[in-house]
Structure 1
Amino acid sequence: MKKIMTNIIAGLAGAVALNIIHQTIKCFDDDAPRVDLVGEEVLTESMLSLGLMPLTGNALFAATFAGDIFSNTLYYSTIGFAKNKFILLTGTLVGLTAGIGALELPGPMGLSDAPVNRTEKTKLLTVALYTIGGLVSAISLKVLRKRSL
């Protein structure tokens, strides 16, 4: 149980770092990826398919933000399955995979990919943000594992 909690805490660190950087960059750079808009589209379409009235405004943003933190925490926590000597490599690969997925999956899922594919810079930032999240999770995991020895 301790290992699972350590993995989740490290995953949360990466998810929070990803979102803090994302929210900051989008305030200053018009080419910043808008993964949040893809998330809002997913939530809105999901609610409509369930016959529910979709959220709007701050409620939509908050629900999407919470879902993003939750899902990225779980995803980044999988880095903890790697052996210590492969943690940084695993964090990098997990982050890269998430970033590439964020670029490639919206279109085939019937979602707009414009928020993450507008420009080459947008694409690069999308992959970079997720990779940073993976690395923050990996570094957090290394620190947490050392503290528990």
Structure 2
Amino acid sequence: MKLLPSLAAGFTGAVALTILHETVRHLRPHDAPRMDVLGERGLRKLLGLADAPQPDESTAYVATMAGDILSNGLYYTLVGSGKHSLRRGVLLGAAAGVGGVLLPGPLGLGEAPSNRTPQTQAMTVAWYTLGGLVAGAVAQALRRGK
């Protein structure tokens, strides 16, 4: 795995995912996944455990968006730059989406943001899969471009 193409692909997938989340949550407020809410809850929970001061709403949102892009970008970097990057992107993305539906409740972050309706669940899985697909496609394009 070559590091720079993998990072470029991973972060492109993460940015695509974040743009999709943020756009659709404004267009479909009743059933769009609210991964931003889960991220803010996680941030506040971690800061509370560390007895650190809680940020205001705007600062928490910006920190959550940066954290989402960083963590998803590093995760999608696992797509790599090899021959099967597209397939790995789809599989990693689908796994992240399923985790996004199943894990928030047991982690104490609440279920509604990603599990509110069947449409919310489907969008969560589909969007993370799309992020992985974008990462895989970019990795494949970078590999072919050399």
Q: Same fold (TM over 0.5)?
A: yes
Structure 2 residue 39 is matched with structure 1 residue 46: no
Q: Aligned partners of 2:85 and 2:65: how far apart in 1?
A: 27
Give 2:118's aligned residue. 120
State the shift of 1:146 in Å: 1.3
Deviates further, 71-80 or 102-111: 102-111
Matched residue SS, 1:53: coil
Q: CA offsets, 1:40-77, max 9 Å, x none?
A: 00000100110111112110000000000000000000
Normalising by structure 2, we get a TM-score of 0.96
Q: Aligned partners of 1:8 and 1:116: how far apart in 2?
A: 27
Give 1:58's aligned residue. 58
Aligned pairs for 1:49-128 (under 5 A) are 49-80=49-80, 83-84=82-83, 86-128=84-126
Give the alignment's Cα RMSD to 1 decimal.
1.2
Poorly superposed stretches of 4+, deviation over 3 Å:
none
Structure 2 residue 34 is matched with structure 1 residue 13: no
Structure 2 residue 26 is matched with structure 1 residue 27: yes
- Percent of residue pairs bearing the same amino acid type: 42
Matched residue SS, 2:25: helix
Q: Aligned partners of 1:78 and 1:107: how far apart in 2?
A: 26
Runs of 5+ unmatched residues, structure 1 = none
Normalising by structure 1, we get a TM-score of 0.94
Structure 2 residue 126 is matched with structure 1 residue 133: no
